[in-house]
Amino acid sequence: MWSSTDIPDLGGRVALVTGGNSGIGRETARELAAHGATVVIAGRDRERADAVAGELGGRAEALHLDLGSLRSVRRAAGEFRSRFERLDLLINNAGVMIPPYGRTEDGFELQLGVNHLGHFALTGLLLDLVLGTAGARVVTVSSNGHRGGVIGFDDLQSERDYRRMRAYRQSKLANLLFAFELQRRYPGVVSVAAHPGAARTGLMRTSPWLFRFVASRRTKWLFSWLIQSEGDGAQPVLRAATDPGVRGGEYFGPDGWGEFTGRATRVAAAEEAYEPISSRRLWIESERLTGVTYPVGAGMLADGP
Q: Is 294 a catalytic residue?
A: no
> Do the Cβ atoms of 110 and 159 come closer than 8 Å?
no
Give the C-alpha separation, 263 to 240, whole Å: 13
The set of residues, in sequence order, having a beta carbon less than 8 Å from that of 290 and lying 6+ positions away, is 70, 117, 120, 121, 124
> Do the Cβ atoms of 269 and 193 come closer than 8 Å?
yes
Closest alpha carbon to 15 in 79, 80, 99: 80
Angle between helices 118-131 and 164-185 (to 10 degrees): 20
Surface-to-core class of residue 218, CB atoms within 10 Å of its CB (0-12 exposed, 13-18 middle, 19+ buried): exposed
> Do the Cβ atoms of 96 and 203 come closer than 8 Å?
yes
Starting from the edge strand earliest in sequence, which strands make up the sheet with 38-43, in order? Answer: 60-64, 38-43, 14-18, 89-92, 137-141, 190-194, 251-254, 264-266
Helix (H), strand (E) counts: the chain: 11, 8
Q: Which of the residues 168, 186, 251, 294 is marked catalytic?
A: 168
Please give the sequence-ordered ranges of beta strands (E in DSSP) within the chain, or none if there are none. 14-18, 38-43, 60-64, 89-92, 137-141, 190-194, 251-254, 264-266
> Do the Cβ atoms of 213 and 242 come closer than 8 Å?
no
**Residues belonging to the active site:** 168
